[in-house]
Chains A and B, each alone.
Chain A
Amino acid sequence: QQQVKQSPQSLIVQKGGISIINCAYENTAFDYFPWYQQFPGKGPALLIAIRPDVSEKKEGRFTISFNKSAKQFSLHIMDSQPGDSATYFCAASNRGNYQLIWGAGTKLIIKP
């Protein structure tokens, strides 16, 4: 019940296309859902995060869509650029336990 399942494992998108990464969770106590971006040789960095009181959050080209009833959330990257090539992790936590539960990661490659 503590797992966060992330898909796909890897994704190749043409420059200018839309990249979509999905995550699903079981624990209904989760109330914080961040996405992290990791470049080779670097630690993960927070990209965007959402709480379950909203269904969508947009920051620039990055959008999180959240479906509370389906217990799913997804990251959309619009107008994908080669610089977006990285590994993306979804995660979840609840305020009673600040430990983040991580998805397995998605390696995204944007082809020029």
Chain B
Amino acid sequence: KAGVTQTPRYLIKTRGQQVTLSCSPISGHRSVSWYQQTPGQGLQFLFEYFSETQRNKGNFPGRFSGRQFSNSRSEMNVSTLELGDSALYLCASTLTSGEDTQYFGPGTRLTVL
């Protein structure tokens, strides 16, 4: 069974630009969560989608948004990029709303210059 895939793996943008990251969950998984990982702040929860609906949201500004498609694939978008948005963005999928185990993808390394 294929794992969680994230594209692109690496991305370099400049301040003010916007970026879209993509996540394909494990086949059959319906829940997708997004995290931002930085050396100083650790893993911070961005949001979670289940059946195309945002179910939970972390404490991030409105510049961070996401969506989930009917095939469970998810995208997250960051508008008006800031230097502090440089981070590893991780996507995790879970089977259903009652499943606790999260399976992570390798992440997208975003660098904002």
Contacts and interface: CB of A to CB of B under 8 A. Distances in A.
A45 B100 contact: no
B14 interface: no
Interface string B28-56: 00010100000000111100100000011
Given A97-B56, A99-B48, A41 B106 contact: yes
Interface string A74-110: 0000000000000001000101011111111100000
Contacts of B104: 36, 43-45
B70 to A, nearest CB: 21
B100 A43 contact: no
A93 B56 contact: no
A43 B101 contact: no
A5 B100 CA distance: 20
B100 A49 contact: yes
B90 A44 contact: yes
Q: What are the 8 closest A-B residue pairs judged by CB atoms, nearest first? A: A43-B104, A102-B43, A104-B42, A99-B56, A32-B100, A44-B104, A43-B90, A43-B105
Interface of B: 4, 31, 33, 42-45, 48, 55-56, 58, 90, 92, 94, 97-98, 100-107
Given A98-B55, A99-B33, 7 more contacts: A43-B106, A49-B101, A98-B48, A98-B94, A98-B98, A99-B45, A99-B48
